[in-house]
Amino acid sequence: MRIDKAQVAQRFARAHQSYKTHAVVQQQICQQLMAKMQQYIVQQKLSDQPQPCFENVLEIGCGSGNLTDLLLREFQIQQLTLNDLYAEVLHAYLHHPQTTSTQIHGLIGDIEQLDFPQSLDLICSSSALQWVEDFGALLCKANQALKPQGYLCFSTFGPQNLTEIKQLTGQGLHYLSMDALQQQLKQQGFEVLHCSEQLESLSFEHPKQILQHLKATGVTGTAQGQRWNKTTLTEFYRGYEQFSQQHSSQQKSYTLTYHPIYCLARRMP
Residue of 252, 207, 205 lying closest to 234 (CA atoms):
207
Kind of pairing, strands 146-157 and 260-267?
antiparallel
* Residue 170 pLDDT grade (very low, low, confident, very high; cuts 50, 70, 90): confident
> CATH code at 66?
3.40.50.150
Residues 16 and 143 in one domain: yes
Residues 119 and 236 in one domain: no
Domain assignment of residue 148, yes or no: yes
Domain assignment of residue 122, yes or no: yes
Residues 192 and 208 in one domain: no
CB 156 within 8 A of CB 130: yes
pLDDT at 36 over 80: yes
| Per-residue CA distances from 67 to 71, 213, 224, 225, 265 (Å) | 6, 20, 28, 31, 18
Work out the mean pLDDT of the chain and round it to a whole number.
Answer: 86
Domain assignment of residue 236, yes or no: yes
How many CB atoms sit inside 10 A of residue 238's CB?
Answer: 11
Q: Which residues constitute the domain of residue 19?
A: 5-159+172-201+258-267
| Per-residue CA distances from 190 to 129, 140, 154, 187, 268 (Å) | 17, 10, 13, 7, 6
pLDDT at 221 over 50: no
* Residue 6 pLDDT grade (very low, low, confident, very high; cuts 50, 70, 90): low
Task: Give the number of domains in the chain.
Answer: 2
In the chain, the percentage of residues whose pLDDT exceeds 70 is 81
> Which amino acid belongs to residue 261?
I
Cα separation, 7 vs 163, in Å, equals 22
Q: Residues 6 or more apart from 114 whose CB is under 8 A from it?
A: 83, 107
Burial of 170 (0-12, 13-18, 19+ CB in 10 A): exposed
Domain assignment of residue 166, yes or no: no
Residues 151 and 94 in one domain: yes
Residues 120 and 72 in one domain: yes
Cα separation, 143 vs 99, in Å, equals 28
Domain assignment of residue 165, yes or no: no
CB 173 within 8 A of CB 1: yes
- State residue 147's pLDDT score: 96
Beta bridge partners of 153: 124, 264
Residue of 223, 207, 188 lying closest to 10 (CA atoms):
223
Residues 9 and 127 in one domain: yes
